[in-house]
Amino acid sequence: MQGTNHSTDGYPMRPQTASEKTLAVLEAALMNSRFTDIVEAAQLPKSTVHRILAMLISSGFITGDADRGFRAGRRFTLLAGHTLSTLDIVALAEPIVSELAASTQCTVHIGEAGADEVAFVFATESQRPYRVRSRAGRSAWLHSTGLGKAVLAHRSPAEVKDYAEQTGLPALTKATLTEVDSLVAELEQVQSRGYALDLEEHEVGTVCVSAPIFNHRGEPAYSLSISSLVVTHPDDSIERFAPSAVAAAAEISELLGARI
pLDDT attached to residue 173: 96
Contact 187, 153 (CB under 8 A): yes
Average pLDDT over the chain reads 89
Domains and CATH numbers, the chain: 18-85 (1.10.10.10), 89-255 (3.30.450.40)
Count of C-beta atoms within a 10 Å radius of residue 12: 13
Pick out the chain residues at pLDDT < 70: 1-13, 82-87, 260
Q: Going edge to edge, which strands form the sheet with 139-141? A: 139-141, 117-124, 107-113, 222-229, 206-213, 196-199
pLDDT attached to residue 5: 47
3 state DSSP class of 9: coil
pLDDT attached to residue 87: 67
Tell me the pLDDT tens digit for each residue of 208-259: 999 999 998 899 999 999 999 999 999 999 999 999 999 999 999 999 888 7
Query: What is the DSSP secondary-structure string of 45-68?
Result: -HHHHHHHHHHHHHTTSEEEETTT
pLDDT attached to residue 1: 37
- State how far Cα 239 lies from the chain centre: 19
- Taking alpha carbons only, the member of 150, 131, 143 closest to residue 207 is 131
CA distance 165 to 159: 10
pLDDT attached to residue 84: 63
CA distance 253 to 98: 16
CA distance 219 to 64: 28
